[in-house]
């Protein structure tokens, strides 16, 4: 895939207070060189890799998220990662699982889902809410055919590869970024957001609007970001680039904005890692060559998360955010 041209780096901005996390977005920042990558952590809270954020609430429910999962390998190979990330999901025992696309490599054929993905992450199939990535479109039998055959109504609850569901005080929206440029899906999203009655909203799809990795920024979801921000959504989860990255709240044009969306890129579910190539302006932390799952802790009016590595250790902890 040819990388999408990257946005130019904006000029320095005046520090502002983010009411959703209660600390300056740009002021008081600390820089650290870790594993060859320059990491940025806002001042006024513990470093994300070493402690929980101040004021974090106990979760009312927990979900797990990851993308880019099952290479064509099994637990018989010590280098095979998706059995190890599946073991993390089993240990966490979340209320449900969200997968952010490229669930099965390379061409996502049904026989490959059955031979690889099903032997590990398939254990949680009944409580998984998946979405498709670009690899699901490569199936020689037809785009998304193996994906649809494997997941069935789980991935197509209303006959389309995009859908939404509610859990407690949260509304979750699963989108197919292979067709985000089609009016049928965006019209559905507009109606879905208008009908939502939950306080907090999260959405997820495969191709990230912003990424510091090899694929870089993909503008296909910019109109969706604007719709979500107008609906006061909180969080976007993506995959596609095979690394972990979290962003400060920003608007659809990449400007820091306390009323923008928080983006979480979680493409570290098992596929070969990608390099960090061009750090995007609002990127707060990036980790590559770190496999694991994101453990999301949701409350009635907020959320936070932890990146759990395959060694069972917490590799990053987010700020604690309030719903708008």
The closest of 87, 89, 163 to 132, measured between CA atoms, is 163
Residue 216, H or E segment: none
DSSP per-residue codes, 268-307: -SSSPP--B-S--TTEEEEE-S--EEEEEEEETTEEEEEE
156 in Cβ contact with 146 (< 8 Å) = no
Which has the closest alpha carbon to 266: 251, 282, 247, 280? Answer: 247
Closest CA to 43 of 10, 11, 15, 12: 15
The answer to whether 104 touches 135, Cβ cutoff 8 Å, is: yes
Any idea what DSSP says for residue 249? Answer: S
Q: Which residues contact 68 (CB under 8 A, 6 or more apart)?
A: 100, 101, 102, 133, 239, 240, 242, 267, 268, 269, 270, 271
User: What tens digit of pLDDT does each residue of 70-129 get?
Assistant: 999 999 999 999 999 999 999 999 999 999 999 999 999 999 999 999 999 999 999 999
The model's pLDDT over 23-55, given as tens digits with 9 standing for 90+, comes to 333 333 333 333 333 333 333 333 333 344 444
Q: pTM of the prediction?
A: 0.83
Closest CA to 239 of 96, 85, 68: 68
Q: What is the pLDDT of residues 229-256, one digit of tens each?
A: 999 999 999 999 999 999 999 999 999 9
pLDDT confidence of residue 1: 44
The pLDDT tens digits of the residues spanning 144-179 come to: 999 999 999 999 999 999 999 999 999 999 999 999
**Strand locations in 36-90, DSSP E?**
37-41, 61-66
Nearest alpha-carbon partner for 105 in 264, 195, 239: 239
144 phi-psi bin (left φ>0, alpha ψ -120 to 50, beta other):
left
Burial of 197 (0-12, 13-18, 19+ CB in 10 A): exposed
């Amino acid at each position: 895939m040819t990388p999408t041209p990257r946005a130019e780096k904006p000029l320095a901005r005046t520090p502002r207070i983010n009411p959703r996390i209660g600390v300056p977005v740009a002021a008081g920042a600390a820089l650290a060189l870790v594993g060859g990558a320059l990491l940025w952590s806002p001042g006024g809270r513990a470093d994300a890799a070493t402690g929980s954020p101040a004021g974090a609430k106990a979760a009312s429910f927990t979900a797990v998220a990851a993308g880019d999962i099952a290479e064509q390998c099994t637990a018989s190979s010590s280098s095979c990662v998706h059995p190890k990330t599946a073991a993390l999901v089993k240990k966490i025992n979340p209320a449900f699982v969200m997968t952010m696309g490229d669930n099965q490599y390379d061409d996502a054929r049904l026989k490959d889902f059955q031979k690889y993905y099903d032997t590990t992450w398939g254990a949680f199939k009944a409580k998984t809410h998946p979405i498709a990535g670009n690899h699901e479109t490569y199936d020689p039998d037809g785009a998304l055919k193996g994906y649809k055959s494997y997941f069935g109504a789980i991935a197509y609850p209303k006959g389309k590869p995009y859908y939404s569901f509610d859990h407690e005080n949260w509304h979750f929206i699963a989108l197919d970024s292979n067709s985000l440029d089609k009016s049928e899906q965006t019209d559905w999203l507009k109606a879905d957001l208008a009908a939502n009655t939950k306080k907090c909203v999260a959405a997820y799809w495969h191709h990230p609007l912003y990424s510091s990795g090899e694929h870089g920024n993909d503008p296909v979801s910019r109109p969706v970001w604007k719709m979500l921000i107008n609906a006061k959504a909180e969080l976007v989860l993506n995959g596609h680039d095979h690394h972990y990255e979290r962003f400060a709240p920003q608007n659809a044009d990449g400007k820091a904005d306390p009323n923008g969306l928080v983006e979480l890129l979680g493409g570290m579910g098992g596929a070969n890692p990608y390099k960090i190539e061009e750090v995007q302006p609002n990127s707060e932390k990036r980790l590559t060559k770190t496999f694991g799952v994101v453990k999301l802790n949701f409350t009635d009016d907020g959320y936070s998360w932890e990146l759990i590595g395959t060694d069972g250790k917490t590799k990053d902890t987010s700020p604690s955010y309030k719903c708008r």
